[in-house]
Amino acid sequence: MKHCLIVDDSAVIRKVARRILEGLSFRTSEAEDGEQALSRCRTEMPDAVLLDWNMPVMDGYSFLRALRELPGGEIPKVVFCTTENDVGNIARAMRAGADEYIMKPFDKEIMTAKMQEVGLV
């Protein structure tokens, strides 16, 4: 079973994402900010990270850069999931090493398509 770490400061978004991902046969874990997410990745590297951009403590962008420095940090497929829907931000995230990008709001179909795109469904 593939493991997806959901990183978002909104409990509602985490819950929606969890339901959808579990429906796609993912095992999920959650973090409220980038720093929590990093420490989870140090313990267990997930197969995928669903990543918000704007979060307190450490934002998604800084998390992504720190993640890719960790041993094994190149493994997870990182899918940004954010309201930063501006093309400039998307390009910046992709340059920073994200694999896919979901513009909020999203639904099951979009999540499925994106997880298919990164080869996890």
Half-sphere exposure of 35 (CA within 13 A, CB side): 3
Distance CA 103, CA 116 (A): 16
Distance CA 87, CA 30 (A): 27
- Is the distance from CB of 119 to CB of 77 less than 8 angstroms? yes
**One of 10, 23, 94, 119 touching other proteins (CB under 8 A):** 94
Q: For other proteins, which is the closer residue by CB, 43 or 87? A: 87
117 is a contact residue toward other proteins (CB under 8 A): yes
Task: Please tell me whether residue 73 adopts helix, strand or coil conformation.
Answer: coil
**One of 91, 96, 115, 120 touching other proteins (CB under 8 A):** 91
Q: For other proteins, which is the closer residue by CB, 9 or 117? A: 117
List contacts with other proteins (CB under 8 A).
85-87, 90-91, 94, 100-103, 106, 109-110, 113-114, 116-117
